[in-house]
Amino acid sequence: MPVYRLDERLLFPPPQSGPRRGPIAVGGDLRPERLLLAYSMGIFPWQGEPLHWHSPDPRMVLRADELHVSHSLEKALRRRPYRITLDRAFRDVMMACATAPRPGQVGSWITPEMVDAYGELHRQGLAHSVEAWRDAGELVGGLYGISLGAAFFGESMFARARDASKIAFVHLVQQLGRWGIPLVDCQVYTPHLASLGAREWPRRAFLAALREALQQPTRPGPWSFDADAAEPEAVRPPDPRPSGAPRGSPTGAGSRGRASGR
């Protein structure tokens, strides 16, 4: 299957006809316009020189109302060990994700150019961070991603203290649900994401859900938690049906060290 080489034109090949694994395109740049076009088509950049652009099949997806919190994580949430904020330290979160050790990974796919590019999207109110702080003001966990329409595209997460990234993620997903942003793209499978309720969807199902989500207006940043959202909500266990047919997905189909699986 051919891999398209991008030039200065703002275009991508149709993701539904791309390879299930591996890049669907290489090259191009990280201009905000290209990044936003990519995400709106279900495509994201990853490691590689030149740039590699991916749209995997299956796709790891979490619906906000399917968030699963284990008993141990629920106990940690009740203790409230960290202060959780939104959009307070975007660049710091990206840099922490870039330098976090990943098993089996040498170096980081989050290059200085990516930090600058996503930082520009943050300034435009389209890229967002979640931060977990210790009382002394130490940043100990968090994640970042892009929001378009009723979809949030998770990019990466990090933790320097127990459950810090999970607690930040739970707060984010519950807030997204309150705002009517139900679709959380986690990109690729990890056990960490599966434990939180994410499932693998066929690419066609994810792209259909994304098209529907993009019909909704985008909530611009900077974001902050609702005033009445100090306590995490009770979360029911996930639906036990097979991962190929996630509850609430269209057509009945089903941490990259990341808030996605990178």
- Topology of 60-252 in CATH? Aminopeptidase (3.40.630)
Q: pLDDT digit string (tens) for 50-74?
A: 899 999 999 999 999 999 999 999 9
- Amino acid identity of residue 156, one-letter, is S
Cα-trace Rg, the chain: 17
Residue-level pLDDT at 136: 85
Residue-level pLDDT at 107: 57
Phi and psi at residue 68, to the nearest 5°: -115, 130
Q: Is 59 exposed, middle or buried (0-12, 13-18, 19+ CB in 10 A)?
A: buried
Hey, where are the domains in the chain? 4-56, 60-252
> What does the pLDDT average to over 132-158?
97
Confidence of residue 47 (pLDDT cuts 50, 70, 90): confident
Confidence of residue 101 (pLDDT cuts 50, 70, 90): confident
Residue-level pLDDT at 108: 75
Full-model pTM: 0.88
Number of neighbours of residue 170 by Cβ within 10 angstroms: 24
Contacts of 72 (CB under 8 A, 6+ apart): none
Residue-level pLDDT at 198: 98
Q: pLDDT digit string (tens) for 145-156?
A: 999 999 999 999
Using an 8 Å Cβ cutoff, are 23 and 143 in contact?
A: no
Using an 8 Å Cβ cutoff, are 213 and 40 in contact?
A: no
Confidence of residue 100 (pLDDT cuts 50, 70, 90): confident
Confidence of residue 260 (pLDDT cuts 50, 70, 90): low
Q: Quickly list DSSP for 166-208.
A: HHHHHHHHHHHHHTT--EEEEES--HHHHHTT-EEE-HHHHHH
Where is average pLDDT lowest: 25-29, 88-92, 108-112, 114-118?
Answer: 108-112
Q: pLDDT digit string (tens) for 224-235?
A: 999 866 455 544
Residue-level pLDDT at 212: 98
User: Same topology for domains 4-56 and 60-252, yes or no?
Assistant: no
Q: pLDDT digit string (tens) for 161-210?
A: 999 999 999 999 999 999 999 999 999 999 999 999 999 999 999 999 99
CA angle 212-216-220, nearest 5°? 135
- Give the orientation angle of helix 90-99 with respect to helix 112-123, to 10 degrees: 160
Counting residues of the chain whose pLDDT is more than 90, the rounded percentage is 78
Residue-level pLDDT at 102: 64
CATH architecture of 4-56: 2-Layer Sandwich (3.30)
Q: Is 2 exposed, middle or buried (0-12, 13-18, 19+ CB in 10 A)?
A: exposed
Residue-level pLDDT at 227: 83
State which H helix or E strand residue 210 sits in: helix 203-213
Confidence of residue 217 (pLDDT cuts 50, 70, 90): very high
